[in-house]
Amino acid sequence: MSSTTAPPRTDPTPPAGRGPGRRRRADRPDRAALGLMVPALVPVLLFSVAPLIYGVYLAFTDARSGRNVDAEFVGVENFVELLGDGDFWASFQIGLVWAVGVTVLQFAAGMGLALLLNQDLRLRWLARTLAMVPWAMPPVIIGLMWKLVYHPNAGILNATLRDAGLIADNIDWLNDFSVALPAIIVVGVWTGMPQTTIVLLAGLQGVPRELHEAAHVDGAGAWRRFRSVTLPQLRPVIVTITSLNFVWNMNEFALVWVLTQGGPGGRTRLPMLYAYEEAFRYGFFGYAAAMGVAIVLVVLAVLAVYLRRQLKETE
């Protein structure tokens, strides 16, 4: 009895549900997915994109406070005036010192704490939880708490330094020209260190242990392993978190406002505080908006130079 093999199917008609029409439908965005994105996009458009566009528009007008005051388009007049505003550029220099100082110290302290929390320590979970406490506190509460710490007569800092014999007279930390800016930088570092620590800790846990073991076998000490193995592996994480920290610190307002309101004598008046005063104390909304646009442009320029240098080193 002979068996016959069925010839291969040569029908050019594709099976149901397949073919060019099906592929075209698959390539289109899923309308259901777009529908699910709308609730998230609407708040972003309403509370982020729309105010940003309106702020840029105000920068080219003479908008100011007052009843029945119409804003008129003035072109780049606000920016021309801004170029000659010595107070603004002085505040911008203070802002750069604040942002760079806080960012660098946040990274140094965050790296040290991340290396410590990455070790096999007892109650490591508790230490990691406590490390997040400053990040969970509102800036206003942090500012009020540190004002009590820095209080010239009843503050714990002066009392501790007096008991240790390091100072003879109380120091008015937030009203002394020589120490006010360093004092708020310390608060900024303490406030922003947790997120830096968590990001770096996540990066450390992603470094292959085999690289450290191989370097240890080759005779590399702890410092050399950190410099030659850990830092190169963490470079993308470091670039990301330091860039974000710089932007966040440059835009800081609430914390410094609660601590010093820009005093003494403008010694801690960051650019955002100066723009706030121009808008809500003196009523020059158009000029304050121009300050905001200028701050964004300068920050983006500084950030672009930093990122370009870092990316060039990774090539």
pLDDT digits over 301-312, tens only? 888 888 787 777
> Which segments within the chain are labelled E, that is strand?
none
Separation in Å, CA 206 to CA 118, 128, 237: 11, 17, 11
pLDDT digits over 269-299, tens only? 999 999 999 999 999 999 999 999 998 888 8
pLDDT digits over 196-220, tens only? 999 999 898 888 888 877 877 777 7
pLDDT digits over 56-94, tens only? 999 999 888 877 778 889 989 999 999 999 999 999 999
Residue ranges per structural domain of the chain? 2-58, 85-314
Is residue 206 within a helix (H) or strand (E), and if so which, with residue range? Answer: none
Does CATH number 1.10.3720.10 belong to domain 85-314?
yes
pLDDT of the residue at 28: 56
22 pLDDT above the threshold of 60: no
| Distance, CA of 177 to CA of 114 (rounded, Å) | 34
pTM for this predicted structure: 0.81
5 compared with 152, residue with greater pLDDT? 152
pLDDT of the residue at 309: 76
Residues 6+ apart with CB under 8 A from 200: 110, 111, 114, 234, 237, 238, 241
Handedness of CA 194, 195, 196, 200 (dihedral sign): positive
